[in-house]
Amino acid sequence: MSAPRTIVSGGTGYVGRFIVEELLSAGHEVTVLGRRPPARDYFSTPVGFLPLSLEPEQASPSTFEGADFFVHAAFDHIPGKYRGGEGDDPQAFRRRNLDGSIALFEGARSAGISRLVFLSSRAVYGPRPPGTLLAEEHEPCPDTLYGQVKLEAERALASLGGPFHGVSLRVTGVYGPAGKGQRHKWADLFEDYLAGKVIEPRVATEVHGQDVGQAVRVVLEAPEAPSPLLNVSDLLLDRQDLLAIVKDKKGCRHPLPPRADGRAVNAMRTNRLRSLGWRPGGEALLTETVIRLLEQS
């Protein structure tokens, strides 16, 4: 049996590269779509490359010829910002991230792709009463342009139908080591704490990038068509617990921030994804990752 052939848009991005590595380790032949080719040693195994534009008129079914799966992880935004990532040009933001995504979905379906995974976001849910457990059957009510665009792309994907099957992964905040030359998401926080600055309390949902990659793989490889909407989240992480790892590893004497009110957070139910065999790394992976980040800094 030949290896699955999978195309990943945005494969060199912060989240996309975790997806690519997971698929490579599972034996997929991966082609990355992006603005420029990855460096020769960017991934553990060589990948194919095709240029990507999110301008809708440039999408073509020929991009997907011969492929089995498509993972759409590309997103055009101001660097470092998703919510508010439209800057002062919301029309271009919508055109590329909504119209461009829909054009790619349609091109993939026309080329005979059997299964497509779209990286959506928990932002589609919008605000909820404190402590609400977010579940896929809840009616979305996004309060940001980012969340609105993700939701509209989800709905466009679901409307395509036919033998083609699309799945939207509603992903929470992603942590993990950054790519070469980049800073990880907690770099400033760690530096501020070690410098003795006052750290404001905060608690939020998190998932490791490699667990996002695992989620994509299990969806693509599931023998039966999975649910079209799946939450992806692992930990309810308080800064106090996160920085306690830093404090212990560095032998730091600075006080930890107060514990935030975790009861007010909207955690995410992940039963649907877990039913496919998805098992995130939990606290063990968090601790291992933080230690490695500190060793590399």
Q: How far apart are CA 127 and CA 144, in angstroms?
A: 10
How are strands ordered across the β-sheet holding 173-175?
Answer: 173-175, 203-208, 235-238
For residue 82, which amino acid is it? Answer: Y
Contact between 44 and 20 (Cβ < 8 Å): no
> Among the residues of 161-208, which ranges form H helices?
187-194
Which pLDDT value is given to residue 89? Answer: 83
Give 10-residue mean pLDDT values along the chain (297 residues): 92 95 97 92 94 92 95 84 70 94 96 96 96 97 96 97 91 92 92 97 98 98 95 98 98 97 96 98 98 91
CA dihedral angle for residue 179, residue 98, residue 213, residue 201, rounded to 10 degrees: 70
The residue written with tokens 């501020």 in the block is 192
Q: How far apart are CA 297 and CA 295, in angstroms?
A: 6
Which pLDDT value is given to residue 2? Answer: 83
Type and span of the H or E element at 70: strand 69-72
Which pLDDT value is given to residue 81? Answer: 59
Which residues sit opposite 207 in a β-bridge?
A: 174
For residue 18, which amino acid is it? Answer: F
Which pLDDT value is given to residue 79? Answer: 66
The CATH class of 5-175+209-232 is alpha beta
Contact between 245 and 112 (Cβ < 8 Å): no
Q: Which two tokens stand for residue 61?
A: 């079914």
pTM for the structure as a whole: 0.95
Q: How far apart are CA 86 and CA 108, in angstroms?
A: 26
How are strands ordered across the β-sheet holding 5-9?
Answer: 48-51, 29-34, 5-9, 69-72, 115-121, 165-171, 229-232
Which candidate, 85, 79, 151, places its Cα nearest to that of 118? 151
**Radius of gyration of the chain from its Cα atoms, rounded to whole angstroms:** 19
